[in-house]
Structure 1
């Protein structure tokens, strides 16, 4: 059995239409879905941390560098998601372009990204909510708002928000998208409020020196704030539930990325211009900046926006997680029983409950401090393979219909690989070690279960061509 057996694109589309998730999403839904996941922890937390510890005011360049890497990868994602409008994102794209073992590796990376990322975001949501309640005079007991390592018993708020969003995802994407729209508009309004109120207080002297840590600091900052861009790729996991995926998915991916990049650079510029960058190493830098200029009420509003922002990030992370599990279960990479579709809601309820339970346990019991790097590693790895996949398919299947074609593919693909690889090299050594261990476990799972239980194992050789 070939390790590099590939899926046939036409057959893949036919199968997805037969199993059919409900098609309820349009281009606007996808743009908002992307914004819902992208704008959250990155803009409300990591901007200040990366500025204070790594890049200084040069954090603006860090966002540009990360944004460029994402832009090239986004063009690759757009071509593949329009060609292969089924659930699974980078996992499915790797399956049709480079074969099964590569697809499993990508899927394993996405499981790491979404699961750990969801747990971290849930814990972050809890911290913001506890802080907002405390400022309103409601002091929740530490025992039920902190994990054991931090002197508590259980992080109940993190579990509650995870359970609530798991329930929403079980009801269906229309209900989840409706909540996402409301929360996206609230947090965009809060970001607009921050820019409007804080911009007049910008002091250009705070931007000097612009690169206190040199270009190396900018590069490291870019590797850290890359977490802030995770989300646009999640749009591609919704392809199977789109009314017109060939048009809507590229619009959703590119549109959400462009909007968020502009907002990130604007917020980074104002934030480092209002207060000295060295003071931003805290859990709420945007709210802190408003308090520093005497706008306490505005600070509370921004904190509310942060809670909304983090809620949408968690919603979309958990959504993407279940869709990757769904695609892998369909392919026999994990037990087929997990792929059940609810008879009433047409959602993968079994996977949703299991994934939500794991996230709840992790966020409720474990201390998750520096988690962005782990999510970044999995995402950058997936971005590199997706970009390579576009080049591979251009050579091996040049005649397949491409509703959206990546422009200047001979330039875009190498730049995507080089920039993402450069960011990976700037991540901590501990992150690379953890990722290596995670992959060893993954390969054990693949060779002991997935390879022999794969649906491709029983197919004739023509379906597993390596050309």
Structure 2
């Protein structure tokens, strides 16, 4: 059946060798890109919200739970990225192992994950930016930083920053990666400052009760903060722009996740130790706890760092979503305009359509809703990549791999089970909205993609083995 027609690995490798996208990224750039994508709204915004609403001081356990699940998925990503260095992430991997319909569904899901994450991050950036301006008596009127459902008109700063980052990306990867690396380094310095200063104000009694909402709260918190770890997967969308993908991609994926997990745990310990967890139900939690202990100057520095650092997250996700559009368009599953590049090798139309869509959503939709929708999509893609690794080992056992997942199929099966478990713990409304998006994707596939698929037109026979 055409729905299960697979794209040959040989063709994917040939496409990745074509220099349609300029190869400018190394292991260091990838690690910073991963940290830039992961460390952002999760540590600067969600840590406080989840501690207050779901887990209390046990939010560190929520982060550890999410990190373990992400770690399993990261190993699967590393194997695929080092074996098939082609743009598209899970979309590409599903195309090689499960078939075209599954690949289209994964690509469609990834688009929602990246666009919604961009919007949610821009939403969080707006809170820090307005708080920073407020320190100078220049706060933006509430109606222009608040979405309609919360009594405002539009979150204007969120729209503006998304469009500004989109413009930067449209200039080219080589130029924009320098700005991204700077933003990530600033963010790491600021987080380090928070940990060092905040540690002097930690009161162990604030960690009691440690688990006020019980194990159920920790698990619910794990499902919520899963959003905070999204980003390392975005690295696999950059495969065709990496100088040595077989070596550098596994390094970038795994190292960025490990570094980010350590940072999250340290920040959560300090934050919940500085003030009672019940006070952390604010969007700019790091700045808030520093103000509460009289460290206004440091809080100001943190706010500036957050403003700069969160922009790196927006950068990473707009970048990733454009590469998904590029890959799907190149395969005929979306119109050709999405894969056209300019003289600098940038898919300009995809970049601007993604940025504009993300900006619109950021201006009008609640951050918590955006985070949950991004979570369910990401969990689904992580489950699929675990399944894909098992299938790929069977279909291409002799293919050279730069990295191999240990204990296959046991570890990928555990990864799939963990993802499904966390998905079940997400709200019913999230499932409803996500189902509507998937249904829309199915309509697009049967209405356009299947008819224009390059694979279907060429009637390509998938290879059982590629060397």
1:176: which partner in 2?
176
**Aligned twin of 1:207:** 207
Distance of 2:381 and 2:112 partners within structure 1: 11
Instruction: Provide the TM-score with structure 2 as the length reference.
Output: 0.96
1:158: how far off?
A: 2.1
Match of 1:363?
362
Deviations 1:427-464 (A, max 9, x none): 11111111111111111111111111111111235238
Contact 2:87 2:240 in 1 (8 A): yes
> CA separation in 2, counterparts of 1:456 and 1:30?
31
Task: Quote the residue 1:161 is aligned against.
Answer: 161
Cα distance change, pair 214–268 in 1 and its aligned pair in 2 (3 A) = same
- Verify the 8 A CA contact 2:8 2:461 in the aligned structure 1: no
Q: Distance in 2 between matches of 1:364 and 1:63?
A: 28
Q: Is it true that 1:30 corresponds to 2:30 in the alignment?
A: yes
Mapped to 2, the partners of 1:404 and 1:61 lie a distance apart of: 29
Counterparts of residues 39-54 of structure 1 (less than 5 Å)? 39-54=39-54
Moved more, 355-364 or 160-169: 355-364
CA distance in 2, matches of 1:171, 1:189: 27
Aligned to 1:455: 454
| 2:121 maps to 1:124 | no
SS in 2 for 1:138: coil
Pair 82,304 (structure 1): closer, same or farther in 2 beyond 3 Å = same
Distance across 2 between alignment mates of 1:181 and 1:94 = 31
**CA-to-aligned-CA distance 1:248-284 (integer Å, 9 cap, x gap):** 0000000000000001011111111111111111111
Deviation at 1:150, TM superposition (A): 4.5
For residues 50 and 159 of structure 1, the distance between their equivalents in structure 2, rounded to whole angstroms, comes to: 25
Is the Cα contact below 8 Å between 2:79 and 2:401 reproduced in 1? yes
Q: What residue in structure 1 maps to residue 77 of structure 2?
A: 77
Per-residue displacement from partner, 1:166-225 (whole Å, max 9, x unpaired)?
Answer: 111111112221111111111111111111111122222111221111111110000001
**What is the match of residue 189 of structure 2?**
189
Going from structure 1 to structure 2, the CA distance change for 1:18 and 1:283 (only over 3 Å counts) comes to: same
Structure 2: gaps of 5 or more residues: none
- Of 401-410 and 230-239, more deviation after overlay is shown by 401-410
On the 8 A contact 1:384/1:417 being kept in 2, the answer is yes
Shift in Å, 1:325: 0.6
RMSD: 1.7
- Separation of aligned partners in 1, 2:261 and 2:386: 20
Contact (CA 8 Å) 2:395, 2:465: kept in 1 or not?
no
**Matches of 1:369 and 1:78 in 2, distance apart?**
30
Mark the CA change 1:186 to 1:295 in structure 2 (over 3 Å): closer, same or farther. same
- Aligned residue for 1:462, secondary structure, equals coil
Question: Contact 1:41–1:309 (CA<8 Å) still a contact in 2?
Answer: no
CA distance, structure 1, for counterparts of residue 258 and residue 390 of structure 2: 24
User: CA shift at 1:375, angstroms?
Assistant: 0.4
Task: Render the CA deviation track for 1:306-363: whole Å, top value 9, x for unaligned.
Answer: 21222111110101110101111111111112211102x1110111111112122222
**CA–CA distance in structure 1, aligned partners of residues 365 and 205 of structure 2:** 41
**1:66-111 residue CA offsets vs partner (Å, 9 max, x unmatched):** 0000111000000001111011111111111111111111111111
Paired with 2:38 and 2:390, the residues of 1 have a C-alpha distance of 27
Q: 1:280 to 1:142 in 2, by over 3 A?
A: closer
**1:329–1:424: structure 2 CA closer, same or farther, 3 Å change rule?**
same
Structure 1: gaps of 5 or more residues: none
Q: How far, CA to CA, are the matches of 2:369 and 2:148 in structure 1?
A: 17
| Partner residue in 2 for 1:388 | 387
* TM superposition shift of 1:411: 2.5
The count of corresponding residues between Structure 1 and Structure 2 is 466
Give 1:237's aligned residue. 237
CA contact 1:4–1:464 (8 Å) conserved in 2: no
